[in-house]
Amino acid sequence: MLLRSLLFVPANRERFVAKVATLRPDAVILDLEDSIPADQKEAARSQARAALAHLAEAPFSRLIRVNSLASGLARADIRAVACPHLDGIVLPKAESAEQLREANMLLAQAEARAGLSLGHVRLIPILETVRGVLRAEALAAAGPRIVAVVFGAEDYTLDVGGIRTREGLEVLYARAHVVAAARAARVAVIDTPWTDLADQDGLWQEARLARQLGFSGKLCIHPSQIEPIHRAFTPTAEEVEAARRVVETADEAARQGRGSVALDGRMLDAPIVGQARRLLAQAEAIGRRDEAR
């Protein structure tokens, strides 16, 4: 599951849903939570279900952000949208492994009730409270449905009582901790959305920092963010070229039976060669994907 860009769309905006079918994010998240006013939740559930069917052939993953388990709305949300077109549930304000087990159970119940097969449906918790971030390790490892965790910086900053800045020093610890926890559980890890649509440079800076820290991708709140985010999470031509030289030099040294080798004055220790190989594999996977579309 390549997850560089995950585009939010309010589940009740039919025009947006229609538009999304023409776009190429790696995933679309139909939202039932924050973008849906309380009195429109029920209608939005049906609309979300219809949208899943509408997007059944689209070349991206179809996810639903349900309401948090603490809201009391998640049960009805999951029941309403559980269907074969659904690829995953995004669970906001996740704070404990129990919540993820509960979400899992709700999927199992929907499966039993409707005679559906939902084994493929993934769970993606959003860690956006201090408790969620502090419990990141347990949350990321809470079962086989989990393929990724998301870090939500705005809610985290609200919960912590801090001030969001463009540079983001206030969430560096939380970002790095969530990345480590996700990677320890061998799942992907997605960064918070960039909310200032007018500041494309800020988006680019933050997306590159996210990639540097180990994130796999970034939430999008507008179609205009897809392309810059794909670019930020795709190795550049220079990076690919540099990685190729590293791998070739190391391979040549290995053929000659040498265990250590330098390139341009830099020692090519095993993990550096590993980083280069990973970068090449990533570039290739993205290339194949872009071709397939």
CA 177 to CA 154: how far, in whole Å?
16
CA 158 to CA 169: how far, in whole Å?
15
Residues 76-105 close enough to bind a second copy by CB under 8 A: none
Which of 140-159 are b and which e, b meaning 16 or more Cβ less than 10 Å from the residue's Cβ?
Answer: bbbeebbbbbbbbbebbbeb
Q: Contact, 99 vs 126, CB < 8 A?
A: no
What single DSSP character describes residue 118?
-
CA distances from 230 to 40, 113, 203, 217, 287 (A): 33, 39, 12, 8, 12
Site size for a second copy, by CB under 8 A? 69
Residue 141 makes contact with a second copy by CB under 8 A: no
CA 82 to CA 120: how far, in whole Å?
11
The gap between the terminal CA atoms of the chain, to the nearest Å, is 15
CA 245 to CA 251: how far, in whole Å?
10
Interface mask (CB under 8 A) for a second copy, residues 155-184, using x and -? Answer: x-xxxxxxxxx---xx-xxx-xx-xxx-xx
Of positions 7, 10, 48, 142, contacts a second copy by CB under 8 A: 10
Measured from the CB of residue 2, what is the shortest distance to a second copy in angstroms? 13
Backbone angles phi, psi at 258, to 5 degrees: -95, 140
Of positions 24, 79, 85, 131, contacts a second copy by CB under 8 A: 131
Residue 257 makes contact with a second copy by CB under 8 A: yes
Residues 212-241 close enough to bind a second copy by CB under 8 A: 212-214, 216, 221-222
CA 71 to CA 17: how far, in whole Å?
25
Measured from the CB of residue 255, what is the shortest distance to a second copy in angstroms? 10
Of positions 125, 193, 217, 228, contacts a second copy by CB under 8 A: 193
Residue 211 makes contact with a second copy by CB under 8 A: yes
Q: Which stretch binds a second copy (CB under 8 A): 73-81, 83-91, 111-119, 205-213?
A: 205-213
Residue 292 makes contact with a second copy by CB under 8 A: no
Residue 275 makes contact with a second copy by CB under 8 A: yes
Residue whose C-alpha is closest to residue 47's, from 80, 19, 74, 23: 80
Binding site for a second copy (CB under 8 A): 10, 12, 34-37, 39-40, 128, 130-131, 133-134, 137, 152, 154-155, 157-165, 169-170, 172-174, 176-177, 179-181, 183-184, 193, 195-199, 209, 211-214, 216, 221-222, 254, 257-260, 262, 264-267, 269-272, 274-275, 278
